[in-house]
Amino acid sequence: MVEVSTLPFEELFAQGKKIIIPEYQRPYTWTVDKAEELIQDFEEFFAEQSDTTSAYYMGSILFYHNKSKNVLEVIDGQQRLSTLIVLQYVLDGALQDHQDLQFNGHTSYNAIRKIKAFFTSRKYTLLALANDHGLLKRLSFTVITCLEEDLAFTFFDTQNNRGVSLSADDYLKAYHLRSVVSEDQQDVLATEWEHAALLAQDEDHTHLSLSYLFYQMLYKGRMWRGQKHLVPEGKDELLQTFQKKTLAADNGGSFPLYHSKSNMRYTAAKIEDGDIAWQDNEQEMATKADLPFSMRQPLHKGYHFFAFTSKYYAIHQLLFGDKSAERAKDTELVKSRGFYDIVYSKSMSPFLCAYMQLCLILYYDVFKAKEIFKAIQFFDYFIGSIRLDKYYVRKESVKNSLIEAQNNLLDVITQAYLPQEIFEFISNEPSTKIKYTKIEIDKLNTIRHKYIKRVTSCYEGEVDIINRLQWIK
């Protein structure tokens, strides 16, 4: 039997049953970055809503009602639930009845300590949200309560949820390791995979995780083609793309390579004494970011999949990781990263940050660092129009920008032979021009004004945001 209801956060603990987190649950792993995004979402939502009764939907909470102990065991949703308890504790200075959740292990303790310190540092903002908008009273959950434990875990395993517990990368690793014949190679690949997963967790940067890479970069980069049917990312879609649609592995231990900018035999032709001399591609594979794959090529099971993933993980780290010796060697990469850090700071919509990262990864995949500083400025002209046009940037805004333009920007990037083709497309895109021409600076909200300030700080005092194409260097 299943009971489904909708409850505000404040009523979750008023059901007469103690809520517990079972020992088998993963540790609490929310990061400060994720908590910052949550507060930013709260601010934008409540600034937009004139109706003081409208609720901010926090997703679903899945409980198993353990009758023998008369408790509700949290099966899914403990990360969000725990975060809000910490938030309420910072606001009220004490836990409410039945909020004494217990966690095991140092990982949970350290993460909760960091989140508590962060919320304390933002207490003024949180108090304003609570007093002016009734924050905790307007946070709404769909509550699913199962009376049978097996049924609860069936729900848990089939929900299309991108929370920590249902990340697809664990499934992908296990699936493709089965196609790797050598046990020694399996160990190497599994170790590299886990190292990447732990690195993102240890550095408190979920935006550098494998899960983020698959959901926000690889899935969209491969599957968001054309303009008619852009399916949002989800666990089922990822497994369909990176498991079911992958081709059989060669039992002989080899796999095919496909033509791309990073896998060319000749790069130029030179006429000498009336004859043509074909110049070989002398590019060295100095790092994994140079591996001869392209974003939209066919994928094969096993080692091919891991090698493909390692290339784009390396590119993502090169462009957006905290430390990169390779990035420091290239002036174009250094300048583009400096621009990104200023404009796409924590104040920027996380949806638009992911959009910019996706565009830059696709660009680097085709052109490496060639004119990438100019590229990020053109991409920001395109993406920034969304920030300036929308009071509240929603997830669908990214997809809509690809549909409303004359062509899908991701297609333009992956199919371009020259960077100038991309720059000209963005410069001439009518829907983007319209967004800039209708800007009324004095009517923009604080978030959009902050975005303009960050952009103009990169251009030595330029302030005419409407004609910003003229600034690009």
pLDDT band at 388 (very low <50, low <70, confident <90, very high): very high
pLDDT of residue 196: 81
Q: Which residue has the higher pLDDT, 214 or 186?
A: 214
Does residue 205 have a pLDDT over 90? no
Q: For position 83, what pLDDT does the model report? A: 94
Greater model confidence, 122 or 252: 122
Select from 97, 95, 83, 86 the least CA-distant residue to 120.
86
The pLDDT value recorded for residue 422 is: 98
Backbone CA torsion sign across 160, 166, 167, 169: negative
Residues of the chain above pLDDT 90, percent: 42
Most confident of 40-44, 113-117, 131-135: 113-117
Q: Which residues pair with residue 271 across a beta bridge?
A: 276
pLDDT at 309: 97
pLDDT for the residue numbered 67: 87
Q: Which tokens belong to 177?
A: 């390791």
For residue 61, what pLDDT is reported? 87
Residue among 132, 75, 96, 103 nearest 9 (CA)? 96
* % pLDDT > 70, the chain: 90
Determine how many CB atoms are found less than 10 A away from the CB of residue 13. Answer: 22
- Weakest-pLDDT range from 58-67, 99-108, 328-337: 99-108
CB 40 within 8 A of CB 387: no
pLDDT of amino acid 449:
86
Paired sense of beta strands 56-66 and 71-76, if any: antiparallel
- Single out the residue of 322, 347, 351, 350 nearest to residue 337, CA to CA: 322
pLDDT one-digit tens code per residue, 66-119: 888 888 888 888 899 999 999 999 998 888 776 767 776 678 888 999 999 999
pLDDT, position 218? 98
pLDDT at 348 over 50: yes
Tokens standing for 106?
A: 């140092």
- Lowest mean pLDDT segment, chosen from 36-45, 237-246, 436-445: 436-445
pLDDT score recorded for residue 275: 85
How far is residue 231's CA from residue 394's CA, in Å, rounded to a whole number? 16
Q: What is the mean pLDDT of the chain?
A: 86
**Predicted pLDDT of residue 163:** 41
What is the average per-residue pLDDT within 177-192? Answer: 79
* CA gap 423, 410 in Å, rounded: 13
Kindly tell me if the per-residue pLDDT of 375 is higher than 90.
yes
d(CA 28, CA 290): 36
Q: What pLDDT shows up at residue 162?
A: 38
200 or 261: which leads in pLDDT: 261
- Averaged over 30-53, what is the pLDDT? 82
**Mode of pairing for the β-strands spanning 56-66 and 18-20:** unpaired
Q: What is the pLDDT of residue 410?
A: 98
HEC readout, the chain: CEEEEEEEHHHHCCCCCEEECCCCCCCCCCCHHHHHHHHHHHHHHHHHCCCCCCCEEEEEEEEEEECCCCEEEEEECHHHHHHHHHHHHHHHCCCCCCCCCCCCCHHHHHHHHHHHHHHHHCHHHHHHHHHHHCHHHHEEEEEEEECCHHHHHHHHHHCCCCCHHHCCHHHHHHHHHCCCCCHHHHHHHHHHHHHHHHHHHHCCCHHHCHHHHHHHHHHHHHHCCCCCCCCCCCHHHHHHHHHHCCECCCCCCCCCCCCECCECCEEEEEEECCEEEEEECCCCCCCHHHCCCCCCCCCECCHHHHHHHHHHHHHHHHHHCCCCHHHHCCHHHHHHHHHHHHHCCCCCCHHHHHHHHHHHHHHHHHHCCCCHHHHHHHHHHHHHHHHHHCCCCCCHHHHHHHHHCCCCHHHHHHHCCCHHHHHHHHHHCHHHHHHHHCCCHHHCCHHHHHHHHHHHCCCCCCCCHHHHHHHCC
- Helix 106-121 / helix 78-92 crossing angle, nearest 10 deg: 50
**How confident is the model at residue 342, as a pLDDT?**
95
- Cα distances from 7 to residues 4, 85, 136, 278, in angstroms, run 10, 15, 11, 70
Burial of 332 (0-12, 13-18, 19+ CB in 10 A): middle
Provide the phi-psi class of 105: left if phi over 0, else alpha when psi is between -120 and 50, else beta: left
The angle subtended at Cα 84 by Cα 79 and Cα 85, nearest 5°, is 100
Whether residue 336 is predicted with pLDDT greater than 70 in this model: the reply is yes
Q: How far is CA 92 from CA 16, 52, 113, 177, 235, in A?
A: 21, 22, 17, 49, 37
**Amino acid type, 193:** W
Buried b or exposed e, range 169-198, using 16+ CB within 10 angstroms: beebbebbbebbeeeeebeebeeebeebbe
pLDDT of res. 252: 61
Between 85 and 152, whose confidence is greater?
Answer: 85
| Best-predicted range by mean pLDDT (53-57, 157-161, 422-426) | 422-426
